Structure 1
Amino acid sequence: MAYDEGLAARIRAGLAAEPRVAERRMFGGLAFLVGGHMAVAVVGDGGLMLRVDPERSGELLGRPRASRMVMNGRELAGWLRVVGEPDPDDLDGPELAGWLAEGVAFVRGLPPK
């Protein structure tokens, strides 16, 4: 399944003011890297794959639409999946901005690549 171009465009717009953003096709979707680190991706089966502080994962899982990211049957520590309702790609406005801020804030704290 192809990733949602509309969601990718909303993410692109949400990250427009962020320096050092690059896009790369990954995981059947489109990843957005900040300073060389993947912060968020639009995934092929809908929604977002989001990098977060592993110590905050439990707290962030309490938010609507968030779940642990599972890839090849394994949960990925420090990664969340966020899907819209009723359409997995139905994420926009302040909700999307908040998730983007989480991903960007975490990768900004990582060593530069």
Structure 2
Amino acid sequence: MAYDEGLAEVMRDDLAQLEGLKEVRMFGGICFMHHGHMLCGVHKDGALYRVGKERHSMALDLAGVHEMTMTGRSMGGLVDVEINAMAEDALRERLLEMSLEFTASLPPK
């Protein structure tokens, strides 16, 4: 697979206490779905978190976090995290918190 399995394990550990979690192969990596909504994932160059448009600029202020782009287009509400930045527990915790807040605001699937 085209992603870092060690990074996927780190993310699995971060998500271990969540119920309603499912792994789905997507974006050349793995996305983690929480109650049917995409929450976060890993890809070949790092990770992504779905923080929502309201928290997007706040997330971009964090070190190692960038705008998520696919095929040259910005993916509003998603942020890309450098693989080296994923070593920071506090960063992962903050991004996961933002992502959980956003997905909790979505209608149930």
TM-score normalized with structure 2 length = 0.90
Indicate the RMSD between aligned Cα atoms, in angstroms: 1.6
Which segments of 5 or more consecutive residues in structure 1 lack a partner in the other structure?
A: none
Separation in structure 1 between the aligned mates of residue 87 and residue 101 of structure 2, nearest angstrom: 19
* Seq. identity, %: 37
2:17 corresponds to: 17
Per the TM alignment, residue 60 of structure 1 is displaced from its structure 2 partner at its CA by 1.5
TM-score normalized with structure 1 length = 0.87
1:38 corresponds to: 38
Per the TM alignment, residue 92 of structure 1 is displaced from its structure 2 partner at its CA by 4.3
Per the TM alignment, residue 96 of structure 1 is displaced from its structure 2 partner at its CA by 1.8
Which segments of 5 or more consecutive residues in structure 2 lack a partner in the other structure?
A: none
Higher relative contact order (CA 8 A, sep 6+): 1
Q: How many residues align?
A: 109
The AA in structure 2 aligned to 1:31 is: C
Is residue 34–residue 108 contact of structure 1 (8 Å, CA) maintained in 2? no
Deviation digits for residues 60-102 of structure 1, max 9, x if unmatched? 21110111100011001111101133xx7x4342222222222
